[in-house]
Amino acid sequence: MNKQAFTLIELLVVIAIIGILAGFIIVSMGGAQGVANDARRKADINQLSKAVMIYKTNNPDTTLPIDPDGCTIGGTCSDNSIFGSASVLRDPNGSYYSYESADGVNFTITSRLSNANNYSFDSSTGLYSEDTLITTINGVCGTDNDTVTLSAPTNTCSTGTSSAITTDPNTVLLMHMDGTDNGTTFNDQTGKTVTRYGDTKTITATKKFGSASAYFDGNGDYLSLPSSADYSFGTGDFTIDFWVYLNSLNAQNTILDGRGVLSASPWVFNIFGTIGGGLANSFSWYDGSHHVTVGITPTTGQWYHVAVVRSSGVAKIYVNGISYFMASLPANYSNTGAIYVGRGFDSSAFYLNGYIDELRISKGIARWTSDFTPPNSQYYWWNWDCNGSGGGANSTCGANKYQ
């Protein structure tokens, strides 16, 4: 009896070991299959992107399909001829790859890897990249698909009180310029009141991220925000960044004016057109003591990411992530006056003729100190604060990083 019982136990142990080894083999095979599928996905994205580039070369005067919200290649895209024979490519799981273009000039093609990250080609940079998505905490807090885009994400806390979206402590102004087509409502993520003037409106057809951008027609259109100590940088670090799309370069286009009054230590960012005086066709920063221009000639009809960054008294101006100006800029910016978007602070100032998207002012931080890749659609992340058992009382969960 004892010998038989011992043999049965041994048999059960052997069965358990076999089960564990089988599990290891299955996991290993699954991992190998995932690697193989990802290699195929990346090859497909490469082939699709090259197909579009060939199409553009053969049709230089033809605009690419505009699908700012994305479409499926071989499925919902309005014109699949731009992909040629590559339009038949499908993900190993049978789903479609996605194409997106906001302006008919630049485009992105994206797949989802086995680790749930996005793998994309961006024609504006010519780079392939993998986006590491956000990991939720406790498995219940965060955002749809663990991704935060520039439009307000959906809170997926399963219990407790839904949280508000907040900015990081350094962000003192953040305007996504989202809205409906021809909309008249503008908001600041940090809660400041935005006042609209003229015919300033949100436009959905020409935008960089989110649902829309702010359109200024160059004739009396602008936005203003009330006085705040947030705009007084002192001698500390700061970052001002935005996307701008120009319709005209015939005069001075004021993008952002923080002077309030000339007697205060001012700062203002312009794009000059053909007005001479060494300022023709240039991005320009002015602070009362320094008037510097960037050695790049902007053109109409395309988006530029522009950032003014001061770190330890040294300022850089980046255009599309490349530094075109660097100099000591020790000015004490003490202005606490109003902010004007799309024109200067006085009535004689030049108005912007174009679009602005994702305008942000950051105080006390230099977000970039060397050349960088301009932000993509997973750029700004938020803090989630979930009250209740879903994430614990007053615990921060989900996305919590700013770049």
108 and 204 co-located in one domain = no
In a domain, 156, yes or no: no
192 and 122 co-located in one domain = no
CATH number of the domain residue 310 falls in: 2.60.120.200
Domain count for the chain: 2
118 and 182 co-located in one domain = no
In a domain, 157, yes or no: no
In the three-class reduction of DSSP (H, G, I as helix; E, B as strand; rest coil), residue 294 is classed as: coil
Res 316: pLDDT: 87
178 and 249 co-located in one domain = yes
Beta bridge partners of 216: 354
78 and 212 co-located in one domain = no
CATH number of the domain residue 37 falls in: 3.30.1300.70
100 and 214 co-located in one domain = no
Res 153: pLDDT: 45
In a domain, 300, yes or no: yes
CA 111 – CA 120 distance, rounded (Å): 6
DSSP conformation class of 125: T
Range of the domain at 227: 171-363
In a domain, 101, yes or no: yes
CA 44 – CA 175 distance, rounded (Å): 36
Beta bridge partners of 253: 271
CA 71 – CA 67 distance, rounded (Å): 6
Tens digit of pLDDT per residue, the chain (403 long)?
A: 445 555 666 666 666 676 666 655 554 555 688 888 999 999 999 999 999 999 999 998 889 998 877 899 998 898 999 999 999 999 998 888 999 988 888 999 999 888 878 899 999 888 888 875 444 333 344 443 333 333 444 444 444 444 445 567 788 998 989 889 999 999 998 889 999 999 999 999 999 877 899 999 988 999 999 988 898 888 899 999 989 998 887 667 788 887 765 544 456 666 554 444 444 566 777 776 666 777 777 888 999 998 889 899 888 888 888 888 777 877 788 777 788 898 877 655 678 889 999 899 999 999 888 888 787 654 454 444 444 433 444 444 444 334 4
**Number of CB atoms found within 10 A of residue 35's CB:** 11
DSSP conformation class of 144: G
- The H or E element spanning position 165 is strand 165-166
Res 68: pLDDT: 77
Res 205: pLDDT: 92
In a domain, 146, yes or no: no
In a domain, 389, yes or no: no
Instruction: Please answer whether residues 234 and 332 qualify as being in contact, where contact means their C-beta atoms are separated by less than 8 angstroms.
Output: yes
125 and 246 co-located in one domain = no
Res 151: pLDDT: 41
Instruction: Please answer whether residues 69 and 149 qualify as being in contact, where contact means their C-beta atoms are separated by less than 8 angstroms.
Output: no
CA 156 – CA 134 distance, rounded (Å): 13
84 and 187 co-located in one domain = no
In a domain, 343, yes or no: yes
266 and 179 co-located in one domain = yes
CB within 8 Å of 172: residues ≥ 6 apart: 190, 228, 230, 231, 361, 362, 363
Nearest C-alpha neighbor of 213 from the set 242, 177, 243: 177
**Number of CB atoms found within 10 A of residue 125's CB:** 15
In a domain, 305, yes or no: yes
The verdict on pTM exceeding 0.85 is no
- The H or E element spanning position 43 is helix 2-58
104 and 190 co-located in one domain = no
186 and 325 co-located in one domain = yes
86 and 228 co-located in one domain = no
In the three-class reduction of DSSP (H, G, I as helix; E, B as strand; rest coil), residue 8 is classed as: helix
Expressed in percent and rounded to 5, the helix, strand and coil fractions of the chain are 20, 30, 50
DSSP codes, 185-253? ----TT----EEETT-EEESSS-SSSS-EEEEESSS-EEEE---GGG--BTS-EEEEEEEEES--SS-E
Measure the CA dihedral 98/100/104/105, to 10°: -100
